[in-house]
Structure 1
Amino acid sequence: MVHKRKALAGVAVLLLVSGALAASVAPELPAAEAEARYATPPSRFLEVDGLRIHYRDQGQGPLLVLLHGSNASLFTWEGWVRELSSHYRVISLDLPGHGLTGPDPKQRYTWTGMAEVLEAFRARLGLERFHLAGNSMGGAVAWHYALLHPEHVDRLILVDAAGYPRDEPAPLVFRLARTPVLGELLSHVTPRQVIEKNVRAVYGDPSKVKEADVDRYYALLLREGNREATRERLRATTDDGLWRRLGEVRAPTLVLWGAKDTWILPRYGERFDRDVPDSRLVVYPGLGHVPMEEDPASTAADVRRFLSEEGTVTAPRAPDSGAATP
C-alpha cells in the first residue's frame, strides 16, 4: 500500500511538472510578425554576407556605432540615440542571432566572428572611421574589432564589457543554456517570467524596468531561430585569448560601469582601465549592467564629453548601398 501511494504521488508530481512545462512552451514568433511589430521607422535592413542585418542610422555628425549585449537588441541604445543624435550620426544594429537580424547560417557567434560580421557591415555601408561602443557581449565584440581593425576605430567605449576569463560562475540562465538537454529544452520552453526576472536583474533599480521593455525582450528572443542561436552562441568558445593583447588597443577608450552590476562585476571595469593604455573609467553608483539603458542622460553626457575632445572624425553619409526598408 505504501509503495502504491508513493507511485501515485510520483505520477502526480510528474503530471504537475509536465503541465507546467507544457504551459511554458512558447512557439516561435515568425520573422515577418516580429518585423511588423518592431521594424518601425527608422529601421532598415541590409544584406551582408548571408545575413539580413537590422539596423538604424540616425542623426548627423561624427559617426558612432553601437553594439548591444547578449539577448538584447539595438533597442537597448534608444536612450543614447535620443541624447546623442542631435550632434552625432548614430548607427545601431542587431548582431547575429539577435533581434530582427535573426540566426546566422554561418554561426558566427564568437566575439571574433561577430567582429568580422561588423567589418562586412562596415564595408557594405562604405564607412571608414568611426567611434565604436559596446555593452556586455557587444563590448567584447567592440574591443575585438578595435584590435583586429584599428584603422577604422577613432574612439572606443566599453560599457560593462565582457572579455576576461571569469573566476565566478556565469549567470544561471547562461549555464542552463549550455547544458545539452536543458539547453535544448530552453529552446522551446521559455516562461516570460524568467525573461522578466533577468531583465530586472541587469538594472541597479529593478523598478525602472517597464512592462513594454520586458515584452520586447521576450518577443525578440522568440523571433524564429533566436533561441537556438542563443544556445549555439553560449556553447561556442569565446575566450580566444585576445584579452592578453588589450595593451595594443590604439584608440582612446572610455570605460563605463555600473557599480551594482552583478553580471560582470565592477572589478573587470577596473581591469580594462589598467590594461588599455589610453583609457579612463567612470563608475555609476546606483546603476547595474546596462547603465546606458537605465540612465541614458547621465551616461550619454559622459560620452559627449569624451567624444568632443580633439581628434574626432565626421563621417559623411555614403550612397544608399542597396539598403532596404522593411
Structure 2
Amino acid sequence: MKRLLKYTLALLLVAVIALFVWGYAPDTDPAAMKAKYASASSQFIDVGGGLTMHVRDEGKRDGPVLVLLHGSNASLQTWEPWVARLGAKYRIISLDQIGHGLTGPNPTGKYDGDAFVATLDALMVKMGVSKFALAGNSMGGYVAWEYALAHSEKLTHLALIDAAGPPEDPNKKLPIGFKIARTPGLNKLAMVITPRSLFEKSLQETVSNQAVITPAVVDRYWELNRYPGNREATGLRFASYGGRGRDLGRISEIKLPTLILWGAEDKLIPVSGADWFAAQIAGAVKIIYPGIGHIPMEEAADRSASDLDAFLSKPFPSPAALPSIAASRP
C-alpha cells in the first residue's frame, strides 16, 4: 500500500512538472505589449477610479459615431476589418473592455454586467460622446444590450453580432478555452498554465473561416490574455457568468432600431440565438451568414460591414424598409 502511494505521488509529481513545462506562461511585460499592440490611433484614457482604458478613436471626425465592443478574451483589434471599411463614413470608437487587452483589470475587481456598462458609460462621458450607435460581438453583444437597457437615450442604433444572452443548451460543446474557464480548479491553473496551443485550438473551434486564424492573431490572443491582471479577471468574470440571465426578461423593452448579425455555423452561441433575439426585440432586422462562425466582422468582413452601413444609413430601419438585407445572405 505504501509503495502504491509512493508511486502514485511520484506520477502526480511528474504530471505536474510536465504540465508546467508544457504550458507555464508568465505575465507579459506591459511596456512590450503596448509597444506591440498599441497604434498611432491608440489613446489611454483615465475614466476615474484608477481605471485607464485603451481606446482607438478613428475614422471620419464629424461622422456618425459608432462604438464597437469585442467579445470574451478578445481585444479591439477584432474590429480592424470594419474600421478599414467604414472609417470613411463613421467616427469609430473601439476599446479594450475591462479585463482585456491593454486596458487590463478593473480596479474594483467587478466583472458583472453592471461593471461593464458603468465603465463603458464612464468612457463615453469622458470622451464627450452623448449619442452613438453601439455594436457588440459575443460578450460585447451582451454588454451592448445591457447598455441599451440602462442608457437607451444615448443610443441611435443597436447591433448584436453573435451576442451572448440567449438561453443556453446545457449539452452544447464548448471550445476548450471556455470549458477550462468555467471549470472550478482548472480555471485557477489557467492563471499560470496558459499554453499558446490552447488559444489556437479555441480559435479554430470558434470560427468557420479558418483563414482569419493566422499565427499573428493567435500570438495576440495569447499575449494579451497574459497582460498583467487579465487572467485573474477572466476567472472572476466567468465566476459571475450565472448572473447574466437576470435581465433576459427585459430585452423586449429595447425599442431601438436593432440589427442582428449571426454566423450560421457558430458553435459557441448557435444561430438559434439570432431567432431568440429577433423574437424579443420588435422590428429587429436579422441577417444570417451561411458558412460563417462566431466572428462575422472578421470572417465575412465585406458583407457584414456593408450590411451594418446599410442599416445605419436608415434613421428608423425595419425589415420592410431594407428588403435587400432582411434575409439570409449567401
Contact 1:165-1:239 within 8 A present in 2 as well: no
Q: Please say if 1:59 is aligned against 2:64.
A: no
Question: Shift of the alpha carbon at 1:181?
Answer: 2.3
1:238 alignment partner, SS class: helix
Work out the CA distance in 2 between the residues paired with 1:27 and 1:38: 18
Work out the CA distance in 2 between the residues paired with 1:14 and 1:214: 30
Q: Which amino acid aligns with 1:124?
A: K
Identical-pair percentage: 42
Higher mean displacement: 243-252 or 106-115 = 106-115
Aligned length: 311
1:163 alignment partner, SS class: coil
2:68 alignment partner, SS class: strand
| CA deviation map 1:106-144 (0-9, x unaligned) | 123112220111111111111111100000000000001
With the length of structure 1 as denominator, give the TM-score of the two structures.
0.90
Q: Which amino acid aligns with 1:55?
A: V
Higher mean displacement: 103-112 or 269-278 = 103-112
Return the match for 1:219 from 220, 223, 238: 223
Change in 2 beyond 3 A, CA 1:308/1:174: same
Q: Which amino acid aligns with 1:26?
A: A
Quote the residue 1:109 is aligned against. Answer: 111
Contact 1:164-1:239 within 8 A present in 2 as well: no
Question: Shift of the alpha carbon at 1:33?
Answer: 1.7
Work out the CA distance in 2 between the residues paired with 1:113 and 1:164: 20
Question: After the TM superposition, which residues 180-219 of structure 1 pair with which residues of structure 2 at under 5 Å, given as runs?
Answer: 180-219=184-223
Quote the residue 2:300 is aligned against. Answer: 295
Q: Which amino acid aligns with 2:310?
A: R
Work out the CA distance in 1 between the residues paired with 2:245 and 2:287: 27
Work out the CA distance in 2 between the residues paired with 1:204 and 1:184: 30
Change in 2 beyond 3 A, CA 1:110/1:5: closer
Question: Shift of the alpha carbon at 1:16?
Answer: 4.3
Work out the CA distance in 2 between the residues paired with 1:207 and 1:273: 30
1:227 alignment partner, SS class: helix
Work out the CA distance in 2 between the residues paired with 1:276 and 1:45: 35
Contact 1:129-1:152 within 8 A present in 2 as well: yes
2:40 alignment partner, SS class: coil
Work out the CA distance in 2 between the residues paired with 1:215 and 1:290: 18
Return the match for 2:309 from 284, 304, 315: 304
Q: Which amino acid aligns with 1:15?
A: V
Question: After the TM superposition, which residues 90-169 of structure 1 pair with which residues of structure 2 at under 5 Å, given as runs?
Answer: 90-169=92-171
Q: Please say if 1:269 is aligned against 2:274.
A: yes
Quote the residue 1:323 is aligned against. Answer: none
Contact 1:174-1:234 within 8 A present in 2 as well: no
Work out the CA distance in 2 between the residues paired with 1:132 and 1:169: 31
Q: Please say if 1:232 is aligned against 2:231.
A: no
Q: Please say if 1:37 is aligned against 2:40.
A: no
Question: Shift of the alpha carbon at 1:268?
Answer: 0.8
1:57 alignment partner, SS class: strand
Quote the residue 2:47 is aligned against. Answer: 48
Question: Shift of the alpha carbon at 1:182?
Answer: 1.8
Question: Shift of the alpha carbon at 1:37?
Answer: 1.2
Work out the CA distance in 1 between the residues paired with 2:110 and 2:19: 34
Work out the CA distance in 2 between the residues paired with 1:90 and 1:100: 18
2:244 alignment partner, SS class: coil
2:225 alignment partner, SS class: helix
Moved over 4 A (4+): 2-10
1:272 alignment partner, SS class: helix
Quote the residue 1:324 is aligned against. Answer: none
Q: Please say if 1:279 is aligned against 2:281.
A: no
Question: Shift of the alpha carbon at 1:31?
Answer: 1.6
Work out the CA distance in 1 between the residues paired with 2:53 and 2:134: 18
Work out the CA distance in 2 between the residues paired with 1:55 and 1:32: 16
- Structural RMSD (CA): 2.0
Contact 1:96-1:108 within 8 A present in 2 as well: no
Contact 2:30-2:227 within 8 A present in 1 as well: yes
Question: Shift of the alpha carbon at 1:284?
Answer: 0.3
Work out the CA distance in 2 between the residues paired with 1:80 and 1:66: 10
Structure 1 runs not aligned, ≥5 long:
313-326
With the length of structure 2 as denominator, give the TM-score of the two structures.
0.89
Question: Shift of the alpha carbon at 1:176?
Answer: 2.6
Question: Shift of the alpha carbon at 1:203?
Answer: 1.0
Return the match for 2:250 from 224, 245, 267: 245
1:19 alignment partner, SS class: helix
Question: Shift of the alpha carbon at 1:272?
Answer: 0.2
Quote the residue 1:179 is aligned against. Answer: 183
Q: Which amino acid aligns with 2:128?
A: G
Question: Shift of the alpha carbon at 1:242?
Answer: 1.1
Change in 2 beyond 3 A, CA 1:112/1:197: same
Q: Which has the higher contact order (CA 8 A, sep 6+)?
A: 1
